[in-house]
Structure 1
Amino acid sequence: MYYPYFRGKQFDLITIRECAPLMAKVGFTPIVEPVKENLNGLKRAIDAVNSAGGDLILIVNPVNGEHSEDPAALTALMQDELNEHQNIAPGILLSEGMTVEAIMALCNSYRERQITLIHSGFTDRTLADHLEREGMAIRHVFVGDNRLYRKHFKGDERILVLNGFEKRANRQHPEYEEFSDLHVTFEELGMDGFGDFLIVGADYSDGGGPAYSVAIHLTCIDPSKDDAMFIHHFKSIRYETPTDPAGKFAEALDNLAAEVNSEGTNILKTNAVLEFLSLRDSGHFPGLGYAKKLSMNHHIETLAAYFLAKK
């Protein structure tokens, strides 16, 4: 159903850990592209998914981060420590420039597992013929809306991942804009599931620069708009200099609280939102990474509530 795409940074992995029971309950399957050399955080996230009885797709050949040049540690993790965990599926990232031969070699090395191919920039449609000849049961994740390419894999399990978050300087975000309708329309598009990059966006960066403006991003579903998802950008008032992030966070929290406590808001009072409100009451600034983690948690909680209500 829902396949949130995470880059394996610290707070991404904490979100997976904290939301593992909920994701397992609803049937969400996180995709993780590991980007940090140290695998301890990743292992803790996988342990949480295992304990909850959930599923996870682990990309074994990331194109971003510290394993992109040498993924040997990820290969060893999947083939040794995770060998008996069939709920942790190897994900093979198909990027521009890869050859069909290289892809088939990777597939054969994980032949006994449920393989997920993540098509992200690769467009050689002859791959479908090679997979059919090998008789492999493959799950396909398509990053981006290349309909002519993905039609060649019709008949297999197919998931469409689109980016709903536009990266800008925080002060340039509008207060409110559409995020996605894919959670409503994925079946209409002939897909078996859908995904997104949460409130982080598809473009990878190892770290951010100084925050002139602080913004908190919260998604919501609007029943009056055929259940389309929108995103609020709650911004600080000040943005002239990169000083006083704690004070600017408090300004953004004031804007968040005004909307969340208003009559008729579509923002759910998820556990993450309640924690935002608690931070406002206490005047505590936990850091911008922690705030982003809360926004990711809220996004997962919001989609979980939507699908639980439909059962």
Structure 2
Amino acid sequence: MDSLRPLRRIEAGVLDIAYFEAGPADGRPVLLMHGFPYDIHAYVDVAPVLAAAGCRVVVPYLRGYGGTRFLDAATPRSGEQAALGADLLALMDALQIRQAVLAGYDWGGRAACVVAALWPERCAGLVSYNSYNIQNIAKGMVPDTPENEHRLWYQYYFHSERGRAGLAKNRRGIARLLWKLWSPTWQFDDATFERSAAAFDNPDFVDVVIQSYRHRFGLVPGDPAYAAIERRLAAQPAITVPSITFDGADDGVREPADASVHAAGFTGPRSHRIVPDVGHDMPQEAPRVFAYAVLELVTPISE
């Protein structure tokens, strides 16, 4: 499959969400969540596998990406983790999906982890790249190792107004550089990148991205509408649902870690796997491995 088209639209919470859907309408629901700076096409080879297996597959554009738009110009353009989780929950409500397998990486994995942790009755299973992906904002300003600090250069860049201006001016250039740095063994071509890069032309992209990378360090306030959710996330709630977690052996953002590193974040059944020759965009780099992990968790939805 070359593209996830045509798109559907639905009003959900504060957003008019653009999303791709495939598979039978009565199939067991799976929501696939993309990250930064990527888009729904991270799942271009995952979605058909799941749809062919009888799943109802939903792949939404996150706030600030692609065709997704805010319903009200006055809504803060927040990219904080609570907002991403609330958006996912609102989408499930709008689509009348009571329970689903949630799968994602980067920002999308964070949204899936938030829902799995705070609303476990809505999550039949979780596939999370980089394991426990809920931010501990209280420790956001604690220095890391020099090697890990180096990996986060783009986040510190976005803390400055120079970084905001740079992202606004060079969003494609920055995104392409991050793709290369984060997935050094993935030889993507120009067409693959441009297919996703169009999503960064969203008018809210820069504002949402900048707020996200400042909020996670406690540098800017969040949207008051999500303050209660952020308070719950500050307790670092454990994920109790059946989970499969991954790290890529060649991830340029986070080094692969043993299961024990995030063990406290998972109190339910969990299988942790390190995937060789895979960087940060696992669904696009190893789509069948990712898809088969989702299918491991696709079980009849509880009554």
Would the TM-score normalized by the shorter structure come out above 0.5? no
Normalising by structure 2, we get a TM-score of 0.29
Normalising by structure 1, we get a TM-score of 0.28
RCO higher in 1 or 2 (8 Å CA, sep ≥ 6)? 2
* Higher Rg: 1
